[in-house]
A and B are shown apart, each in its own frame.
Chain A
Amino acid sequence: MNLTLKIWRQKDANDKGKMVDYKVTDISEHMSFLEMMDVLNEQLVNAGEQPVAFDHDCREGICGMCSMYINGEAHGPDRGVTTCQLHMRMFKDGDTITIEPWRATAFPVIKDLVVDRSAFDRIQHAGGYISVNTSGNTQDANSIPIPKKDADTAMDAATCIGCGACVATCKNSSAMLFVGAKVSQYALLPQGQVEAADRVRNMVAQMDLEGFGNCTNTGACEVECPKGISLDNIARMNRELMKASI
């Protein structure tokens, strides 16, 4: 297929940035979206131009690095996938595709489609862990039985890849799905309960400090989340926060 791409180009954080049009030809429907971007970049490099910078790494939907806003949707038109898992069969010959970086104050642009998501890391530093020494001198793993249902629900929350699609897609740029997922994972497990109140308080405080907005239950985050993280996690986080405040 032949496509027209409208791509956000921005030299660095201080540059104003603008949309630029490109044409790509002979795109196979079996290509991933990022492979299509590779084709474009090879074309640009060979023409002596600067290729489009975009974040990507594992290209199998798990590292959470790729972050493109495609035709107004985080990770593009398909459901339950990251951009690297999005295939060109989702598009038609002659389509015009608009490609932008994640849009949120807390995620400043580094270059073109690359944004700085270190705010997520700082939220994790504030409490996204269980305070246990890494000595190996812990109790036997089977001495803490965990109901299968709890372990499975914790696992569902832990599946979050930290890509930031929830923030990018939220009209309030809220990070509550991301933070809710981590809080939920620990809230559902017996380990780390002693510091549960501090954990949720600190993580939520850091989230606010980073400039993320609040949740207004629109639910766009759940729809666009490539890993299907559920809104239940936000509810659970709110409950944990309430509990911690009493």
Chain B
Amino acid sequence: MALDSKVPQGPLKDKWTTYKNQINLVNPANKRHIDVIVVGTGLAGGSASATLAELGYNVKAFAYQDSPRRAHSIAAQGGINAAKNYQGDGDSTYRLFYDTVKGGDYRSREANVYRLAEVSANIIDQCVAQGVPFARDYGGLLDNRSFGGVLVSRTFYAKGQTGQQLLLGAYSAMNRQIARGKIEMFNRHEMLDVVIVDGKARGIIARNLVTGEIERHSAHAVVIASGGYGNVYFLSTNAMGSNVTASWKVHKKGAYFANPCYTQIHPTCIPRSGDYQSKLTLMSESLRNDGRIWVPKHLKDVEAIRAGKLRPTEIKEEDRDYYLERRYPAFGNLVPRDVASRAAKERCDAGYGVNATGEAVYLDFASSFMRYGKEQAKIQGISNPSEAKIKELGQEIVRAKYGNLFQMYEKIVDENPYETPMMIYPAVHYTMGGIWVDYNLMTTIPGCYAIGEANFSDHGANRLGASALMQGLADGYFVLPYTIGDYLADDIRTGKIPTDTPEFDAAEKEVTERIEFFINNKGKHSVDYYHKKLGKIMWDKCGMSRNEEGLKSAIEEISELRKDFWQNVNVPGSATEYNEQLAKAGRVADFLELGELFAKDALVREESAGGHFREEHQTEEGEAKRMKEFQFVSAWEYKGEPKDAVLHKEELAYENIEVKERSYK
């Protein structure tokens, strides 16, 4: 099947408006005869559920957690971008569009990104109206901060808990619709397959995680909003339950999977401390606004620090290597995530890592304490303040901005970051790849949509800070509600979709057989045993930098591991009870297939772009080398084993932006 992105004709800035004026609408009286299933209730799924219900559709929403409020969007810390230009520092829709396309290393779709920038301002208005308590300045107006990869302050935030507050906003909008009976909420339910009838997505098979019951749910359209697949690495900043299953099932039923190898490694996470570790904790990138990143200049100092003989605060200014400021003077500590991550790895690989495992660099706030302190002393009219007083005043300001992050760090690392610099290291964070969608956010299965992190379209090969929350809410509140209506307009006479059909029978049978297999297999290794092995292959060979040899062997190893899994996995308990191991087994089975496709995609992509760094393709200075011939989206068609997947290409045209070397120097 040829890929048709369905991007509307006409000038970029008019595309969305023209599109909205021309699509089919569904009469309000007809909307109540139409059902929509939404899988996932994070920022994308929650906002979509609320809005579709608001419009009048009957929404069935599914979450594997016990409440929509727990979706992992809640953990996003730093903020959400919007081209409001409240600060008057030169921001505009075009500039937000430009930064996002450039930050994505020219591997995202122009029209989608422009639309995202266009609706971004509405998101803030919407959230404020819902009672989201964004940070305010003393005049009562909204405050902004700056994030990596941009030169303006366009990020709106609520302390270091922006994701939480935005999610609670979407959750509250859902609650209003649940109370009205327009959303039927299925908590502790997991989608295990999609049901296709006459070529259209018409329902799902779900498992009630409490009772184990297999359920059939029908609808006129199915929306996948189940987030990203970073947990393919086992260790990541994702929640433990985040998984690829919903996305993978629709892929297996005909939805193309795009750019699986595009993974964002976030530069500011708390370093790993041992093999038992279950996940990694992110420290908001906003810390880079006020923190300076460095490692010692001399290896002897590194050794002394690791041996506990020297404290970082004892290293003189001239003996520190502020390597980001040195290499990228224009952006300094605010370079994009991929650049910052690779630079940290480069220093650590060269032996300058400052913790026991040699995988950490410093994020130091000392100079901010003094800078803010002096300002405060002046404001408060304190004449001749002592050094200690200045530091104390400055720490208060930093505490107000990032207090919860500092506290979180202290709890995990058992060190006070107000006294010693934080230690950070990159970790797997966000997956830019996902289900291929057209401009309507529809997958290659008619009637099946993918929104938020589950789709691929807006972030390209890298994601700038504060752009994921923006996409999730833009898709859910403002894009999907229009585009899905255009499709559903043909369904006003369809009537209820029955679930007692051969299509539902077949899908349910497949799901039940798989569950029975797991329960009856009685193998010798736990599910986690396989997940950890997969994660190690992924991190070692498909991580921050990759090469042909490593990827080829990763493909082999994952395929072997998958064989072993299907012979030897051990799932205790039964299928008709609350069984976490059973749920996990199904998720890991899907990760074992996705992992191989991931490596295959990375092998094909012989260039370095954004989060994807092929060692064979770098400049003499060790920067990423993008190749013109790879200016396409790789969309994989399922054909059985991942090795048989067929590549389709969506060429990316940049008509409104000049493709330039991405430089932050």
Contacts and interface: CB of A to CB of B under 8 A. Distances in A.
Nearest to A115: B66
A39 B276 contact: yes
A139 B164 contact: no
B578 A125 contact: no
B623 interface: no
A9 interface: no
Interface string A109-150: 011001011101100111011111111101111101111100
A211 interface: no
A78 B241 CA distance: 25
Interface string B54-69: 1000000000011101
Nearest to A190: B131
A77 interface: no
Interface in B51-92: 51, 54, 65-67, 69-70, 72, 74-75, 84, 86
A34 interface: yes
A142 B137 contact: no
Contacts of A50: 572-573
Interface string B105-136: 00000000000000100111111111101111
A96 to B, nearest CB: 21
Contacts of A62: 74-75, 161, 164
A118 B119 CA distance: 34
B47 A34 contact: no
B377 interface: no
B131 A191 contact: yes
A89 interface: yes
B510 interface: no
B497 interface: no
A114 B578 contact: yes
Contact of B526 (A46, A142, A151, A159): A46
Given A134-B50, A138-B129, A145 B141 contact: yes
A56 B66 contact: no
Contacts of A31: 274, 276
B580 interface: yes
A159 B122 CA distance: 24
B173 A58 contact: no
B133 A185 contact: yes
B478 A45 contact: no
B69 A146 contact: no
Interface stretch (B175-183, B558-566, B638-646): B175-183
Interface stretch (B258-266, B408-416, B499-507): B408-416
B134 A63 contact: no
A53 B583 CA distance: 12
Nearest to A116: B66
Interface in A169-222: 185-186, 189, 191-192
B187 to A, nearest CB: 7
A166 to B, nearest CB: 16
A148 B140 contact: yes
A158 interface: yes
Interface string A45-62: 110111101011111111
A191 B276 contact: no
B91 to A, nearest CB: 14
Nearest to B54: A134
Contact of A191 (B128, B165, B477): B128
Given A85-B408, A129-B175, A134 B276 contact: no
Contacts of A65: 65-66, 70
Contact of A146 (B122, B140, B407, B572): B140
Contacts of A125: 175, 178-179
A121 B67 contact: yes
Contacts of B581: 45, 51
Contacts of A192: 131
Contacts of B241: 57
Interface stretch (B213-221, B277-285, B602-610, B612-620): B277-285
A34 to B, nearest CB: 7
Given A45-B526, A85-B411, A138-B126, A51 B580 contact: yes
Contacts of A103: none
Contacts of B125: 136, 138-141
Interface in B11-58: 47, 50-51, 54
Contacts of A89: 414
A212 to B, nearest CB: 16
Contacts of B319: none
B520 to A, nearest CB: 14
A68 B72 CA distance: 20
Nearest to A117: B66
B138 to A, nearest CB: 5
Contacts of A55: 66
A159 B132 CA distance: 11
Contact of B578 (A12, A126, A151): A12
A234 interface: no
B408 A61 contact: yes
A99 interface: no
A154 B133 contact: yes
A120 B140 contact: no
A30 interface: yes
Contact of B65 (A57, A61, A139, A191): A57
A173 B38 CA distance: 34
Contacts of A73: none
B83 to A, nearest CB: 13
B272 to A, nearest CB: 10
A76 interface: no
Contacts of B84: 141-142
B239 interface: yes
Interface string A78-112: 10110001010100000000000000000000110
Instruction: Among B127, B140, B407, B477, find the residue whose CB has the most chain A CB atoms closer than 10 A.
Output: B140
A58 B312 CA distance: 31
A42 interface: yes
A228 to B, nearest CB: 10
Interface string B534-574: 00000000000000000000000000000000000010110
Contacts of A128: 172, 175
A48 B526 CA distance: 10
A223 interface: no
Interface string B396-427: 00000000000110011010000000000000
A60 B75 contact: yes
A189 B278 contact: no
6 contacts: A38-B528, A45-B526, A55-B66, A60-B279, A121-B175, A129-B172
Interface of A: 11-12, 28, 30-32, 34-35, 38-39, 42, 44-46, 48-51, 53, 55-65, 78, 80-81, 85, 87, 89, 110-111, 114, 116-118, 120-121, 124-126, 128-136, 138-142, 144-148, 151-152, 154-155, 158-159, 161-162, 185-186, 189, 191-192
Interface of B: 47, 50-51, 54, 65-67, 69-70, 72, 74-75, 84, 86, 119, 122-131, 133-142, 158-159, 161, 164-165, 168, 171-173, 175-176, 178-179, 185, 187, 210, 237, 239-241, 273-274, 276-279, 281-282, 407-408, 411-412, 414, 477-478, 526, 528, 570, 572-573, 577-578, 580-581
Q: Which 9 A-B pairs have the closest CB atoms?
A: A145-B140, A136-B122, A129-B172, A141-B128, A138-B129, A155-B133, A151-B136, A154-B133, A111-B578
